[in-house]
């Protein structure tokens, strides 16, 4: 879902979804979310 948000230009929504995964999931989903956030770089101010 986060990838789809990025594809349609909704970076803030994607970042929010990924942060939820980091807080509430574990294992490979958490690792994938962390990787995607790292590739996105810092949030725009």
pLDDT tens for 1-45 read 999 999 999 999 999 999 999 999 988 999 999 999 999 999 876
Of the candidates 6, 9, 35, 42, the residue with the CA atom closest to the CA atom of residue 21: 35
| One-character DSSP codes across 2-36 | HHHHHHTT-HHHHHHHHHHHHHH--HHHHHHHHHH
The residue extents of the domains of the chain are: 2-40
What pTM did the predictor assign? Answer: 0.86
Which of 4-35 are b and which e, b meaning 16 or more Cβ less than 10 Å from the residue's Cβ?
A: ebbeeeeeeebbebbeebeeeeeeeeeeebee
- Look at residue 26 in the predicted model and tell me its pLDDT: 83
């Amino acid at each position: 879902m986060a990838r789809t948000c990025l594809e349609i230009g909704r970076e803030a929504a994607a970042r929010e979804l990924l942060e939820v995964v980091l807080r509430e999931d574990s294992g490979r989903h958490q690792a994938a979310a962390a990787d995607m956030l790292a590739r996105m770089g810092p949030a725009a101010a």
